[in-house]
Amino acid sequence: EPEVTQTPSHQVTQMGQEVILRCVPISNHLYFYWYRQILGQKVEFLVSFYNNEISEKSEIFDDQFSVERPDGSNFTLKIRSTKLEDSAMYFCASSRDSSSYNEQFFGPGTRLTVL
Amino acid sequence: GDSVTQMEGPVTLSEEAFLTINCTYTATGYPSLFWYVQYPGEGLQLLLKATKADDKGSNKGFEATYRKETTSFHLEKGSVQVSDSAVYFCALSGAGGTSYGKLTFGQGTILTVHP
């Protein structure tokens, strides 16, 4: 069964450093998403991406964040200068289309720890 | 804005007990409603969904009915198993016609089932 994969499973970084979180969505999916979950809090939407551009982003997704689909298979989330409060579990998801009733398939997540 | 509220957890049950996890939502328009489940070490998986009022979603013995009058989507199972131990997330999408694809999650409920 096709699945969304994410690497690494755990990333530890120093405050101020850049990190890139990687995701491989399901191959015939067209819409891609990033969510995050700070420990003990809700899963929060960050950004959605379609046709090589951002279709929607949340208030959390400020200038420190960027997304890219560099090679037709990977989907990356970059945080330019990490802060302590960026420590969270980051989930990638993909779907065939953006309709509200279509299933999003989630990866297992990357746990980011900023020291 | 849109929001989802789940009952406080964690929930601990004995095998074969009846399960209810409450979920209520606030949204403009007519959202689709979902329950996702996260097993240890894995990503979120869609458990069931309902796309309009009075729809009942069901899967693996779990059920939830979209109640527009009470803005609720409570998850139920008649007889839980140890293998149902996981974190359960209620979510909505598509409210108001401007947030297609974006999922808004509740805080998650940890379920532990003992033999």
Q: Does a cis peptide bond (omega within 30 degrees of 0) precede residue B40?
A: no
Q: Determine the distance in angstroms separating the CA of B45 from the nearest CA of chain A, rounded to an integer.
A: 7
**CA distances to B28, B35, B68, B92 from A8, in Å:** 38, 27, 41, 28
Q: Which residue is associated with the tokens 């551009």? A: A53
Find out whether B107 and B75 touch, Cβ atoms under 8 Å: no
**Are B93 and A100 an interchain contact pair (Cβ–Cβ within 8 Å)?**
yes
- Among the partner residues A31, A43, A101, nearest to B105 by beta-carbon distance: A43
B58, amino acid identity? S
Cα(A25)–Cα(A7) distance, integer angstroms: 12
| CA atoms of A49 and B87, how far apart (whole Å) | 27
Which segments within B55-107 are labelled E, that is strand?
Answer: 56-59, 62-65, 75-77, 86-93, 103-105
pLDDT tens digits, chain A, 115 residues: what are they? Answer: 789 999 999 999 999 999 999 999 999 898 999 999 998 888 999 999 988 999 899 999 999 999 999 888 899 999 999 999 999 999 999 998 767 667 889 999 999 999 9
Letter for the amino acid at B103? L
User: Looking at chain A from residue 66 to 85, which residues have their Cβ under 8 Å from any Cβ of chain B?
Assistant: none
| pLDDT, position B9 | 81
